[in-house]
Structure 1
Amino acid sequence: MHSSQVDEVYKIPSLCPNCEKQGLTQILPTNIPFFREVIITSFCCPHCNHTNNEIMQAEEIKTYGIRYILNIKNEKDYNRMIVKTDYATMNFPEIELEIPPSYQKAEITTIEGIIQKAYEDLDRDYGGTNSNHINNEALTAFIAKLKEILDTKPLQNFSFVLDDPSGNSFLENPYAPTEDSSLQILKYDRTNEQNIALGFSDIEDKEDSKVLTTPCSQQFKNIEEVKSEVLQFPSNCPSCNFPTVTNMKMISIPHFKELIIMASNCDKCANKTNEVKTGGGISDKGCKIELFVKSAKDLSREVIKSDNCSISIPEISLELSPTTLGSKYTTIEGLLTDIREQLNDNNPFAYGDSSKNDISQKYENFIKELDLMIQAKKFNYSFVLNDPTGNSHMTSTDFNSENKKAILPESNDIKAGSADNIKDDYIDENIKYFYYDRTWQQNEELGLNDMKV
């Protein structure tokens, strides 16, 4: 979308679908702050007062699907803002209400607004004597249940699921930038059927879905030669399923483990992916790393963050779940920048006309604090990595070969100890390492409870 087109209202005379007289459609291309560009359309008929509002995405479809799961705990949760696309399915599992993508068009609404619209449509079509449906009694009881929910707003055993394979829907986090304990966000790879429904090439097509099978022509004499080379293997693009090549390089991080870095670039859709995996398995103990940032030098520390590692900065009440940023090989400055971008993407209602004054002010102050950290103008704060797999790492700026001993302070809830051969041969007074035994729940999430070795 060209910048000159944004926030300019276009008015188009159009036929009213209700009375078939001429109405007016207004089209507004706009940019939702810290979210993405959208096109808002509004129709109004002066003859029968029929109105209709829709929202369309003006940006590309994401390379992943997204699913929001909200456990409703208070009445404010019913007022959470939602950006719903044409591809999103909405579900209230406890009352067995599922709203398919074709039923409610793309719009900006709230959870209460979704229930209200479902109630009004069902009551109009099936309520009272409007229908001779064979299950009219069951429908009448269900409509009455929706009405009761709107009146009482239940808080016990009530949840909402928003699933969008295009990755462009959004559910508001009113507590941003802190983590919302009631909201779970999952990103997933789309199925073949979902890709086809989104308009991508049919991955059953032989020419597009055929995986490259050319064998590796490189011959290596020993493992050291393998580690020194950039290896390539055939794969398929996760976005369009077009055959591509993934580059893989093994590197060894001093005082840590071997890493495998994989990256690919699709020639068809230009999608780029990169991923970092540790060469070893899950460590015997989890690891919590606390860095006290004192100078700009600390921002240049290299960081290996695994998929299971959470991030927190207590001084600004920042908490990020493990799945927020994925696995990365970057620096402290790079992570702070990624955090800022991620918060902007996940909190479109923090600014603008739809934002509440207290939330907007809180978010603005938080972003200012984060910017000062990125620009190396604010110091004396803690940057914490907590990885139950023990596969995250932070480099040291001070190395003492004469006194090889890691600083392992004791803690009431997380005790110092040993974890494989990691971080046991250098001193860095700005970093503290805590090794701890994982809880049963953490082992369950990692799939370790069912493993028999």
Structure 2
Amino acid sequence: MSIIHEESVRGGSMFRDINADDEDSQPTEIESMCMNCHEDGMTRLLLSKIPFFKEVIVSSFRCDHCHWSNTEIQSAGRIQDQGIRYTVKIRSKPDLDREVVRSDSAITKIPELDFEAPAYTQKGSLSTIEGLLDRAVTALQQDQAVRRADFPDLALQIDEFVNKLQKLKLVEEEFTLIIEDPSGNSFVENPVAPQKDEAMTVTHFTRTVDQDAQLGLYPENELEEEKTENNLEAMRGEVLKFKTNCPECNVPASTNMKLVQIPHFKEVIIMATNCDDCGHRTNEVKSGGATEELGTKITLHVTDASDMSRDLLKSETCGILIPELEFELGMAAVGGKFTTLEGLLTNIKDLIVSKNPFLCGDSSTSDRSEKLQQFGAKIDRIMAGEMDVHIILDDPAGNSYIQNVYAPDPDPELTIEKYTRTYEQNEDLGLNDMKTEGYAETE
């Protein structure tokens, strides 16, 4: 804003032609942090206009503490409708003095040396053709001391290539410089402008889809899809909170809800309610998608204690079976859970042993209590990896999951079967009476 104000006071344009004799073309100085030593340095900004080209912003930074400096140039205009390609024949030393504006997205090529500097590997620069060659030499010579110690053959090849680049500055032979910029914001000076430059060819081209994507340009329909994805991504990173009543004491409480993406599976909704009045806490997992067309039966062969750390999603419609213990738990017993296998077994043990009302008071019998204690001991042995068992999750809705630790490769201890639901299972899920088409009745 200060730049605009100063230029308005002087009555001139914000962007002035590059001219060393123009006293009004003074840079704006901004104190900023040095990225090398983290002390305060000085950044100078100059809004300039290159003749026969366009407006640019030249920035220069210098740190008086570590003496690190950096220069950069950015286009002050928009991305052009077409990309641009400059092909220049360098025939004599004066050709090396041509001014060059190279944006971040530009590719620099020298076909005679099979040399290419890819896009986005260097910051934008305002230089000459000789300056581009010097900058390439400097980049290649960086870390050469380390390469000579660790990779002497590679260092020797780079030294030979650097010599070829330096030899180009002598212009003993004609060579070609190509600058290709999809954004259309690069520039090579025409020293005879406005006349035609016989040594330079300028070509405009239509960008490819990949080049548009690199520049952040998308068709409108893709922008809408991206906006939807961004909204979903924001929801995934945000915890939503809404008012509810405690299921234990019915006092007003709050429920937290978050959308979570399970790798190699689907999205789920995790809900947790905490009551500040009675201290009751509950959490539940809901599937973020629709009921699958087929049911899913997941069988995990537990062979090691490390299996206890596998992530596990048990939906509210899923039953649990452990054939070796002759144990089966119905779908609604422990509700929806997103936990580990150890966490699920701990919940089962708490439900059967610790929180079982038939082990308390007059309803408790010694035989029943002993059997349940033995069952709890077996659960402990499974969690310790001392029992070889199979854990089966049978979910007619197809919304349960056990982590494949070998993903994306198959897990030798994990079997997933898809099956067609029975009429009774569809009835339990409320699908038999669900009508999704043909609402309008014809007379």
One fold, TM greater than 0.5? no
Greater relative contact order (Cα < 8 A, sep 6+): 1
Tell me the TM-score normalized by structure 2. Answer: 0.44
Q: Which structure is higher in helix share? A: 2
Find the structure with the greater CA-based Rg.
Answer: 2
